[in-house]
A and B are shown apart, each in its own frame.
Chain A
Amino acid sequence: MKKILLLLFISCQLSSLFAAPPDRAEELREEMWNSGDKNFAIKDIPQNWAGKSAVIIAQMNRFEYRKVLMAKLLKENNYAHYRIRLNDKNAVDKYSEMSFDVSSLGYNVFVGYKVIKPNGKETIVDISKAVKMERTVNGRKQAYNKIAIPGLEPGDILDYYLCTEETQDILSYILFFQPVIYSIPDQYPIMNYKIQFRASRKCYINIKSVNGAPEFKLITDEKNDEEYYSIEGSNMESVEDQRWIYKYRELPTIKFRAAYSVNEGMAEHFDVLLGEVKKAKTSVSKQELTDLTQRMSSGSGGYYDLDQLKKYDKASLKDVTDPFQVATKAYYYLRNELYFKYAEPKVWEGNEDGTIRESRFLPVFHQFLKKKKIEHDVIVGASREISRIDDIIMENELDWLIRVKKGKDYLYLSPFDAYTLPGTFSESLEGTEAYAFNGLESSSKWIGEKITLPVLTSTDHQAKVNVQVQITDMSKAKLTVKKDLMGRNKLFDQYSFIDYYDYEKEENAKFTNEPIKRKKQELALKKAYMDQRDTRKTDALKRSIEEDYEFKIENPGNIVIEQTGRYDDAPAMKYGYTFETDALMKKTGPHYLMDAGKLIEAQVKIDGEELARKTNVYFSNARSFVNTIAIDIPQGYTVEGVDKLTTKVQHKSGGFTSTAKVQGGKVLIETNKYYSVNYVPKDQWKNVVEFLNAAYNFSEMKLLFKKK
């Protein structure tokens, strides 16, 4: 869950606070345990779930957002009630020790636990037995409670509730409550569930069910004279943790958010997909996305940045006519201006990462391109792992980009960090539908055009790894590794092995950056960092190699960064290093076996349980790993087994191929493991398994060196 718009803020101050009425605990206990809800009276579980660790018999979650009468206060209340049958010791262990928040002024916590034995005997846990874990940090108290649930045994039902009621001052015209995105399936199957959403009449409500989750219904609560939204469902199978799944895209999911406005008129100034007061907003129209994008791209936060960019334009771009070149140079200029100039001190504190927010990036770039009359689109989309664009309901599900047009070609621009390039954008938007708005048109006339953002190929996100292997004393292998990394495949290595001082020179060669006079303390931090820099890099390298290869190594070093991959004219990150290992050579009788397959790094293991996949497969992106390996055949030895190193498994979703030959006293191996797509339907999972297994089996292959 990412950002909230810059213009808006969530108020979290708790300056004027009320305590809960003394009988509130009793009221809630009565409501939770004596509501008459028949699902919370069930004692038996279906036979087909008897083998599960636990079964959620009933689950209720209620989210309330209310205005306190006659006071400038809002209440955000969360109520959760679970009735769980614990079938095995694992579940008993898990629920034997529970924790919950401690009440404080303006924040009241109510809990109740009862254990129900198979014979129906109910025992309510004495909450006063809870212990408080308390700590004072810089004068502020922090605490939580822990309680041990007594008498719990396999076969028991634990029926418990955890309710929090928080009061906060109304300090702004509008207050946005924490958005919720929630996948309903749990690690345990659910017999019955109910999720309610109750908001004050002055609240804006955004609410949506996706991926087969039941639709919210508007319910009239005559007793309390109010309406609320509710979904109810039953018989939800459990889900296991598994690789390559986007649960908000695959599993029944609900999402909602409430916002409270003091004054409807004022709310318009903060309109971020708010809809109408009292009426639940269940979809977002193209026009609303248009309006929001218009506001985002006309933000006023970047006047200074724009001013700087205009100066740069005047000084350096007046002779540049190609729109892509203008955009590219402007992009690098802003990256230098907004990121590079502030990066050095962050490095000393170990805090180099971070992206300039799109609320700062978008208006500056859009205004600049517009002023230059360069054709471009402002694009609004949604991350693949969160939502389809047509299913979004809240602004924090959205991402914005710019694309510059040149004929039929586009140059995409996204908010930058130290390494982002013009022409690239987050892999999480690849292949997603989005809306594009013509940047040269007056935004009041914008009409969104639905587009599909391009999907990059496995070669766009490629890792080429060249490994030269020399064997010494027939026991140790020295590996000289050169990597040439593109797209998403270079990010980890850039963040791991490149720092500010690796790109300082190239950045200063492109831009006139005045040396910054550092204070004494800053110079000390820099010295400390520089003193430890080599050691840190070598340590990071060792960790990375051992993680990649999964065997022990020695003497990692000689890291040489040939190319940082920070500019589009040299987009690959290129670097090299060396290390040694005695994990590959094995003396077998008079001969030597070499674990040559392990030179392509450790491969994915697919467990038996994973073979029968019930969900579609979501890769972060298409990608490929091309290995070129040259093993020097030791003097006086011949090699056998080279013919076994040829493999070919190719599918639409990806593949693994390998070839090997002996040439010039070396064994030359070439492999290519590639994921062609970023999504595979579950019925094609077997093809994925096939090429993953081919790669795994290759990694187990051996060469035999025989004395001549």
Chain B
Amino acid sequence: MKYSFLFFLAILCSITVTAQKNTNVEKAKLFKTYPQNKKAKVVASTYTSGYTFSVSGEKVNVVNEEKHDLIALEGNYDHVEHVYYNDHIKIEDFSAKHTTTGKTIRPQTACGNYEVGDIFYSDSKVCSYLMNFLYEGSEITLNSKVKYDDPKYLTYLFFHDSRPIENREITVEVPANINIELVEKNFEGFDITKNKTTLGTKTVYTFKAKRLEAQKNEDNSLGALYYYPHIIVLTKEFTTSSGKKNVLSSVNDLYDWYSNLVKQVSNDPAVLKQEVERLTANAKTSEEKMRAIYYWIQDNIKYIAFEDGIAGFRPETAQAVYQNRYGDCKGMANLTKEMLKLAGFDARLTWIGTNRIPYTYDIPSLSVDNHMICTVFINDKFYILDSTEKYIALGKNAERIQGKEMLIEDGPKFIRKFVPVADEKANSIDRSETLVLENETLKGEGELVMNGEAKKSVLYFSTNVRNEDQKKLFSTLAVSDYSNTDKVEVTQAPAIDRENPLNVKYKFVLGNKVSKFNNDIYIDIDWAKMYQNHKMEDDRVTDFYFNRKVKTKTIKKFKVPPGYKVSHVPKNMSKVYDDFAFNVTFKQVGNEVHYQNEIVVKGGIVKKKRFSVWNECIKELKEIYNDQIVITKAK
């Protein structure tokens, strides 16, 4: 049902090529010997970014000039340079030239909208410039000039880029009548030099770095803001002939700007009144009322985001979200607040950054948050309601906002509070099974109990797949990767119940988990083999984040058939650390073998410095998974 633009490389069929006299093969060969360039096709010999602030009338402008001296490490390399723009950021110039001859190149160009993640529409646009480096050692210099009409939108400056950089320089030039602060983040471990000079009435900040690797977008990572050095630009205030003006000098300014936008929203509670009355008619307590409204919004309002200009920051009216049955986080938070207010609650809009942003509101910047929720105060207790979450219970908070600071409406003021952090037990997944051997197949019954993030995901998927596909989803949940001749029957499908753990009961008959060799029968008791493939790669740059705190427990009881004795069970494992733990045991209890496997990753994160210990655990775990229970016919 959706169109999408063909990717530029497909559209831009003819390519500009470089001439041989613009090559520097020796330099390319030298660059190839540097470890950070191992997989690179192109390297920036130098990459400079200049940011020049100026006051124009009653506004502050920032001009960003970028220069990339690129050299290809292999021939016939097609390079696409992206320059982003939107309603507040305009591209004023872009040029590409042969570095040595200065001859102009005309790259193939595509400019306009692009699909941004799960956002339905935004004002984010991109210009993409396609050019070809014909030879190994071809050199092209790119220059671009971009203008910000409001310094709020200049949030942070990264040193790294999508390709390795030999020499990196960032300069920020600020006249005396503008007050900015540059906050350094993640500089530790990087050789970044800083310099502050005066140029007439201007202050010039210069940062330099050398030999930077290409920035990686790794799966299961909290993101670049946690790991790569960057500078947060805080434009605090400026002075004109008419006096001093604040931009975002403190969190007060940030809140003032946000709350002014909220004041522009003309909610019409009358539209919602009947629905609120209907939803709360049978609710006896405050919590029941809240639940009725909160869950109705989760179930009935679809996430569709429009981030067009100021709409990226200003909530849609509650009645529009209600009538449209869709909205973004701000719209849903606003609807939640308005409906709860009608039901008599003290509900307030709340700004927050998800866990992809490592900042608190100590930093007055638009980069500090990316989400909006609703907070309800009842006496001294507060409830956090994130209506973009589906199938989350009142009183539970999604992993992505736990521990994050909130900026809560409080009239002309605001309240700063942190979202409570739940422990890993809130995300526990418990499986228990009993198994018997029958004609070289494993026959059994099981129960799966899920909580927290996993439960939420399963409920969401099960209610959003086609009706026809639900059965298969639950069967796969019961026995992962079951094969052609296996039989899996779900005897109890999970109920849509936010308050209680998700519970699936099932029966199965599985072939191929049992191998018979003469008098010995080998039984592969744990076919899910959880986490066996989670060996951390040596070249991974960032910590590994499981997107949730982890606690899984599997208990299986295998009944040894009459006439057989247990001749081998895999070894036990117990590795318990502060951040993660693995406990695996095999025990013979009467005529049964009891298997227990418990894995915990407390914060949901394996730090890079802990990869070697983690990998040792995974190696040992894999050895146990590879091993099997052996029963032997009694003589």
Instruction: Write the residues of chain A forming the contact surface with B, with a CB cutoff of 8 angstroms.
Output: 51-53, 87-99, 131-138, 142, 144, 146, 148, 150-153, 240, 348, 520-521, 524-525, 527-529, 531-532, 586-590, 593, 605-609, 640-641, 644, 689, 692-693, 696-697, 700-702, 704
Contacts and interface: CB of A to CB of B under 8 A. Distances in A.
Q: Which of B135, B136, B463, B467 has the most CB of A within 10 A?
A: B467
Q: Which of A96, A531, A640 has the largest number of chain B CB atoms within 10 A?
A: A96
A131 B12 contact: no
B3 interface: yes
A697 B511 CA distance: 8
Given A146-B120, A151-B323, A51 B483 contact: no
Contacts of B466: 53, 88, 90-91
B553 to A, nearest CB: 24
B349 to A, nearest CB: 22
Nearest to A135: B112
Interface string B74-108: 11110000000000000000000000000000001
B2 A93 contact: no
B568 interface: yes
A454 to B, nearest CB: 33
B121 A138 contact: no
A240 B343 CA distance: 46
A588 B630 contact: yes
B468 to A, nearest CB: 6
Contacts of B12: 137-138
Contact of A525 (B11, B76, B302, B325): B76
Counting chain A CB atoms within 10 Å of each CB, which of B302, B464, B472, B568 scores highest?
A: B302
Contact of B3 (A96, A144, A589): A144
B5 interface: yes
A524 B325 contact: no
B134 interface: yes
Interface stretch (B146-154, B244-252, B408-416, B512-520): B512-520
Contacts of B467: 51-53, 87-88, 90
Most chain A CB inside 10 Å of its own CB: which residue of B111, B112, B475 = B112
Interface in B612-635: 623, 626-628, 630
A345 to B, nearest CB: 12
Contact of A96 (B111, B304, B483, B516): B304
Contacts of B628: 586, 588-589, 593
Given A53-B468, A87-B467, A527 B113 contact: no
B5 A133 contact: yes
B517 A532 contact: no
Interface residues of B, number: 62
B326 interface: yes
A354 B327 CA distance: 48
Contacts of B120: 97, 131, 146, 148
13 contacts: A52-B468, A53-B468, A131-B306, A132-B113, A133-B5, A133-B121, A137-B109, A146-B3, A153-B300, A528-B75, A588-B568, A641-B515, A704-B522
Contact of B522 (A90, A137, A593, A700): A593
Contact of B324 (A92, A99, A148, A641): A148
A593 B515 contact: yes
B20 interface: yes
A237 to B, nearest CB: 12
B266 interface: no
Nearest to A136: B111
B357 to A, nearest CB: 27
B485 A693 contact: yes
Given A138-B11, A528-B75, A693-B484, 10 more contacts: A88-B466, A90-B465, A97-B2, A146-B3, A150-B325, A524-B75, A527-B135, A527-B136, A605-B484, A692-B484
Contacts of B108: 138
Contacts of B112: 133-136, 142
A520 B135 CA distance: 11
A138 B15 CA distance: 12
Contacts of A135: 5, 110-114
A137 B11 contact: yes
Contacts of B517: 640-641, 704
B281 interface: no
Contacts of A525: 75-76, 134
Contacts of A524: 20, 75-76, 134-135
B308 interface: yes
Contacts of A590: 568
Q: Which of B12, B76, B463, B568 has the most CB of A within 10 A?
A: B76
Interface of B: 1-3, 5, 8, 11-12, 17, 20, 74-77, 108-115, 120-121, 134-136, 300, 302, 304, 306, 308, 323-326, 463-468, 472, 475, 483-485, 511-512, 515-518, 520, 522, 567-568, 570, 623, 626-628, 630
A135 B463 CA distance: 36
Contact of B113 (A53, A134, A528): A134
A588 B627 contact: yes
A216 B522 CA distance: 64
Contacts of A607: 472
A94 B110 contact: no
A428 B464 CA distance: 39
A93 B326 CA distance: 11
Given A97-B1, A589-B630, A609-B472, A697 B74 contact: no
Contacts of B2: 97, 99, 146
Contacts of B300: 153
Contacts of A144: 3
Contacts of A146: 2-3, 120-121
A98 B1 contact: yes
A694 B572 CA distance: 35
Contact of B627 (A89, A587, A700): A587
B144 to A, nearest CB: 17
A94 B511 contact: no
Given A52-B467, A525-B134, A587-B626, A94 B1 contact: yes
Contacts of B512: 697, 700
A692 B463 CA distance: 33
A150 B20 contact: no
Given A150-B324, A704-B517, A136 B134 contact: no
Contacts of B109: 136-138
Contacts of B111: 135-136
Contacts of B17: 521
B74 A606 contact: no
A596 to B, nearest CB: 11
A702 B440 CA distance: 14
Given A524-B135, A607-B472, A700-B483, A89 B630 contact: no
Contacts of B464: 89-90, 93
B325 A152 contact: yes
Contacts of A91: 466
Nearest to A96: B302
Contacts of A588: 522, 568, 570, 626-628, 630
Contacts of B472: 607-609
A41 B464 CA distance: 28
A99 B627 CA distance: 53
Contact of B626 (A137, A527, A586): A586
A138 B109 CA distance: 5
A89 B467 CA distance: 9
A702 to B, nearest CB: 5
A95 B1 CA distance: 7
Contacts of B5: 133, 135, 142
Contacts of B516: 644
Given A151-B323, A589-B630, A531 B484 contact: no
Contacts of B302: 92-93, 96, 152
A605 B3 CA distance: 33
Contacts of B518: 640
A146 B326 CA distance: 15
B308 A89 contact: no
A336 to B, nearest CB: 26
